Amino acid sequence: MSKIVDARVIVTCPGRNFVTLRIETEDGVHGVGDATLNGRELAVASYLSDHVVPLLIGRDAHRIEDIWQYLYRGAYWRRGPVTMTASAAVDMALWDIKGKVAGLPVYQLLGGAAREGCMVYGHANGTTIEETIEAALDYQQQGYRAIRLQSGVPGLPSTYGVSKDRYFYEPADADLPTENLWSTEKYLRSVPPLFEAGREALGWDVHLLHDVHHRLTPIEAGRLGKDLEPYRLFWLEDATPAENQEAFRLIRQHTTTPLAVGEIFSSVHDCRELIQNQLIDYIRATVVHAGGITHLRRIAALADLYQVRTGCHGATDLSPVSMAAALHFGLSIPNFGVQEYMRHTAETDAVFPHHYSLTDGLMHPGHAPGLGVDIDEKLAAGYEYSRAYLPVNRLEDGTLYNW
Ligand SMILES: [Mg+2]
Task: Quote the ligand 1 centre to 316 CA distance (angstroms).
Answer: 12
Task: Quote the ligand 1 centre to 103 CA distance (angstroms).
Answer: 35
For residue range 49-63, list pLDDT tens digits in order. 999 999 999 999 999
Cβ neighbours of 373 (radius 10 Å) = 25
The tens place of each residue's pLDDT in the chain, 403 residues long, gives 999 999 999 999 999 999 999 999 999 999 999 999 999 999 999 999 999 999 999 999 999 999 999 999 999 999 999 999 999 999 999 999 999 999 999 999 999 999 999 999 999 999 999 999 999 999 999 999 999 999 999 999 888 888 776 667 788 888 999 999 999 999 999 999 999 999 999 999 999 999 999 999 999 999 999 999 999 999 999 999 999 999 999 999 999 999 999 999 999 999 999 999 999 999 999 999 999 999 999 999 999 999 999 999 999 999 999 999 999 999 999 999 999 999 999 999 999 999 999 999 999 999 999 999 999 999 999 999 999 999 999 999 999 999 9
Task: Quote the ligand 1 centre to 284 CA distance (angstroms).
Answer: 8
* Mean pLDDT score across all residues of the chain: 97
The set of catalytic residues is 160, 213
Q: Which pLDDT belongs to residue 308?
A: 98
Q: Which pLDDT belongs to residue 171?
A: 87
For residue range 78-91, list pLDDT tens digits in order. 999 999 999 999 99
Q: What distance in Å separates the CA atoms of residue 125 and residue 279, rounded to the nearest whole number? A: 28
Task: Quote the ligand 1 centre to 133 CA distance (angstroms).
Answer: 20
Q: How far is CA 387 from CA 15, 296, 379, 384, in A?
A: 12, 29, 19, 10
Task: Quote the ligand 1 centre to 3 CA distance (angstroms).
Answer: 39
Task: Quote the ligand 1 centre to 209 CA distance (angstroms).
Answer: 11
Report every protein residue that has its C-beta within 5 angstroms of ion ligand 1. 211
Q: Which pLDDT belongs to residue 9?
A: 98
Q: Is the pTM of this model over 0.75?
A: yes
Q: Which pLDDT belongs to residue 58?
A: 98
Q: Which pLDDT belongs to residue 170?
A: 82
Task: Quote the ligand 1 centre to 57 CA distance (angstroms).
Answer: 36
Q: Which pLDDT belongs to residue 388?
A: 96
Q: Which pLDDT belongs to residue 89?
A: 99
Q: For the chain, give the secondary structure using H, E and C.
A: CCEEEEEEEEEECCCCCEEEEEEEECCCCEEEEECCCCCCHHHHHHHHHHHHHHHHCCCECCCHHHHHHHHHHHCCCCCCHHHHHHHHHHHHHHHHHHHHHHCCEHHHHCCCCCCCCEEEEEEEEECCHHHHHHHHHHHHHCCCCEEEEEECCCCCCCCCCCCCCCCCCCCCCECCCCEEEECHHHHHHHHHHHHHHHHHHHCCCCEEEEECCCCCCHHHHHHHHHHHHHHCCCEEECCCCCCCCCHHHHHHCCCCCCEEECCCCCCHHHCHHHHHCCCCCEECCCCCCCCHHHHHHHHHHHHHHCCCEECCCCCCCCCHHHHHHHHHHHHHCCCECCEECCCCCHHHHHHCCECCEEECCEEECCCCCECCECCCHHHHCCCCCCCCECCEEEECCCCEECC
Q: Which pLDDT belongs to residue 324?
A: 98
Task: Quote the ligand 1 centre to 115 CA distance (angstroms).
Answer: 25
For residue range 146-195, list pLDDT tens digits in order. 999 999 999 998 888 887 766 677 888 889 999 999 999 999 999 999 99
Of the candidates 236, 195, 198, 235, the residue with the CA atom closest to the CA atom of residue 216: 236
Of the candidates 233, 240, 239, 238, the residue with the CA atom closest to the CA atom of residue 262: 238
For residue range 201-225, list pLDDT tens digits in order. 999 999 999 999 999 999 999 999 9
Task: For residue 117, report the phi and psi dihedrals to the nearest 5 degrees.
Answer: -170, 175
Task: Quote the ligand 1 centre to 238 CA distance (angstroms).
Answer: 6
